[in-house]
Structure 1
Amino acid sequence: MSLTLNLPEADGAVSEYRMVGTPIERPSKPPVFNRIAYAAAHVVSDPRRDLDPWGKPAIDWDTTIAFRRHLWSLGFKIAEAMDTSQRGMGLDWAGAQELIRRSLEEARHVEGADLACGAGTDHLAAADARSLDDVIKAYETQIEFVEKHGGRAIMMASRALARVAKSPDDYIKVYSRILSQAKDKVVLHWLGDMFDPNLAGYWGNAEFEPALECALAIIKENREKVEGIKISLLDNAKEVQLRDRLPEGVMCFTGDDFNYAELIEGDGKRYSHALLGIFDAVAPSASKALASLAAGDTTTFRSVIEPTVPLSRKIFEAPTQYYKAGVVFLAWLNGHQSHFSLPAGMQSARGINHYADIFRLADKANVLDRPELATERMKNFVGVFGVR
């Protein structure tokens, strides 16, 4: 018997929707990929203990860590404490420290588990940064913390640096100083202003070409300390420009949640690895697709991953920085958490029609792992908004 429910339409009408998706089967053991695939993971709030959701959100640490085990079981590395975990939008540095500690400890008890941790400057409010030295000290504090606990760092883009830097040379000074001190190779992080408006003009220029030259200069000068660079500009042509010019041995990690399928597959000569927030939401599909690609089966890779792209584009539509709401919405629908709430109440950043579109696209992309549960939860959710 097919599952049906009523969903709202953009024009205010309500129409019946009939479920069509088939859940993706889970592998019996973590698969092997021929691309490095980091899933940027979300954190799970604890609404029953949330007395100050904007100022000091309560986190359900057990469920948060259980979700990391889910990602590891599907073959992913984890990009921990990144913007998907609401860094600077609900999770402060104190919360990030706890998350990093717990995840690194858990990884020691999971065979094959791997992760890298976001280290930035978010404990230094951008308005309080007065000099490049302030930014350098902030980066040093966070990278030292990650390394002290046995982790590898992803050097996150800095709001404070974007505020105080006056030229590309200022970026070169800060990055070169930090990279020279790092114990291990570091992944750099180019996050476009569609993800965070405070990062406009990063690398010292609002135009792409001069910004690219600055980023490449930093990488070439410090190539022995750079594992790769994650680029999230939602523009595949710009990513390819960067990818084609990286020094040998430095990897490009796509953060393009609009065009990841083609960028990961590549053009026959070059391809991108992945560090993606959408992998949190579509993990079983992405895992099957990547395993198929590793086996040389591009037909299955495309047939599985391409239907997730319209879903991802909906989740990451403007204002893009609120994509976390869609990611957590799918975690709730799929039974990874018992409620739909985010730190700082960020579930309110999107409207009911947005969530209804996500539900339809997720079903059509075979992303709803437990259709009966998802249908029941969605009925209850839209009912709160008067949809019967």
Structure 2
Amino acid sequence: PILGFSYSGANSQSLTVNWSGITAPYTVYYRLAATSCGSTLNSSAAKLEIGQQVTPGTFGPDDWASIGSSYTLSLPYTGGAGTINWELRKYSGSGCSGSYTTVATGSVTPPSAIQYTFSNIGCNDDGYYKFVVSDNCASNVASSCTHLHALAPEPSTQAYGISGGRTRTTISLIWTSGDGMERLVAATQGSTTYTGTIPADGTDYSSVTANSYWPSAGAFGTNTRLVYRGTGSGVFITGLQPSTWYTFRIFEYNWDNSCSTTSLNYNTTTNSSNPKAIKTTARDFEEGSSLLAGEFEMTLVKPNPVESDLEFSLSTAIEARYTIQIVSVDGRVLFTTDQVYPIGVHLVNISLDPKVFSGGVYYLRVLGVNESIQQMFVYLP
């Protein structure tokens, strides 16, 4: 027996059957028996499918696809009475309202997937999308909205090897760059942990001022400022507080030149030296006269600009092997020498060959005892 079953019109040519309390989907098998003049006539058996109208599931608010690749946008759903017809719409504004264009249409039979595949993602595919579906029980039921981000490929190698020479108010930061087109360098003040912003793919941070002078650097999350944006492998940061921890984190990123502000793709992974915490010194010496690492110190190059010979003093607290390099602003090592220096103060003189060094800006870098410091100088032969 079927609960809530009733009928009317038994003595007429039209029979009305009513069922209540049925929850779709539901299947009913039935047969009609008609009695007339003492005889009963039975119809053949039939099946009645009571369908559940299609209900779109929920998209994530964001989808990410790599430019030049294929990507499938899939809509979860429940129900579906008969054939489900679908339409994929792309909206012209920021969100799924207002004017739109129809990207594609199609139809499926439950439980087949409702989906559309972009065969070759391009900049123009970045935008807001939703599906609209209809079946035998419902028309034009809209899904939630999703933002499809068309992104450049993510850099595969993150920056590493962060280190820096320090004074009371400055840090000369250097690193080995990854394979991104550019990189962001952010620093958290007063902590050995990075607590700043983690860049979100597809987000343009050009409105945040990157500045190596700490008071002028733009805010980039909790107690954090953006100190560098560019293609280089070092930055000299000034305006810091004495005896204070600064934790640096570098993010490599790429973009597509055809949609540079929307296709930004950041590498947010970490490694053993990224992030890196460095503490400014409390030592009171002549401000700006030298750069200090944990176990060694070098004086500033004087005179600067350099005309022929580069000269500075290297002060070592322990005997160890130290490497001295001259590096171009794009990270190429143009000169290197290394030797064991005993404890003490050592005058270092390097003759710059004009056949190797053209006039311009360079970094003098000293590495030793698992630390490194560098300073910038100008060569004017």
Structure 1 length-normalised TM? 0.22
Instruction: Give the structure, 1 or 2, with the largest relative contact order (CA under 8 Å, sep 6 or more).
Output: 1
Structure 2 length-normalised TM? 0.22
